Amino acid sequence: MTIHQEGRSLLMVSLIILVIINVAIAYFFPTQAILQTIVLIGSAVIYLLLLQFFRNPKIVVKRDEQQILAPADGKVVVIEEAEEAEYFHQRRMQVSIFMSPINVHVNRNPASGLVKYFKYHAGKYLVAWHPKSSTDNERTTMVLQLQNGLEILVRQIAGAMARRIKWYVGEGDKVQQGEEFGFIKFGSRVDVFLPLDAQVKVSIGDKTKAGRTILAELPKA
């Protein structure tokens, strides 16, 4: 288990602030042992929550060209046929994963291939499960062209708390299934748009693990 690069500076600053607060409490209220204990315990809880959020567990990825892996840890909240209006301009099978603040927030490539299209969109910060969050919120859109020629779309979506999307890929990059392509801070959602004849292997409410859970299987080319 390691700490993700996106959290290292925040964790250092948070630690310094929490130490200063505890030292100040001890200095200005030297006889208030109960207050000092409450602040100390509260500080420890806050810091442990931050550590949990920015954890980056080591995983083993079993790559398979016919399988689409989950791009995020979280819970499946949408499985439906939907119109994809930004790139495909046609109906696709949409699978959406909601990432709560307690989930690992590393985003991983669901398949290997070429980044055919990538775009960042500034936007609103509606709650991640809002129907319009996929089109109105701050988001990124990445289209992967797989080795068999099929294309899938992956969309990072900011939520009410998640106001910083990070990505590490661009158009023309070749990526490997299971490798990191981005990170979203503090609660968010990731949508995947698949061919209509893809066989979805998860159900609403299922928990997913990025780079390990099989989201769908693609039709034979």
* Largest Cα–Cα separation, the chain: 74
Domain span at 32: 2-56
Residue 184 has pLDDT above 90, yes or no: no
Same domain, 78 and 132: yes
Same domain, 87 and 154: yes
Residue 2 confidence (pLDDT): 82
Residue 24 lies in a domain: yes
Same domain, 212 and 125: yes
Tens of pLDDT, residue by residue over 113-146, are 999 999 998 866 565 555 555 666 788 999 999 9
Residue 169 has pLDDT above 90, yes or no: yes
Neighbouring C-beta atoms of residue 172, cutoff 10 Å: 9
Residue 61 lies in a domain: no
Q: Which residues are catalytic?
A: 188
What is the total count of domains within the chain? 2
- Among residues 77, 69, 74, the alpha carbon closest in space to that of 99 is found at 74
Q: Which two tokens stand for residue 150?
A: 């099929």
**Region 5-26: what's the mean pLDDT?**
88
Q: Domain containing 199 — which CATH number?
A: 2.70.70.10
Q: How far is CA 146 from the centre of its chain?
A: 21
Per DSSP, the three-state class of 120 is strand
Residue 197 confidence (pLDDT): 94
Please state, for a pLDDT cut of 90, what percent of the chain lies above it. Answer: 62
- Among residues 93, 82, 202, the alpha carbon closest in space to that of 151 is found at 93
Residue 135 confidence (pLDDT): 61
Same domain, 75 and 49: no
Residue 112 lies in a domain: yes
Same domain, 105 and 32: no
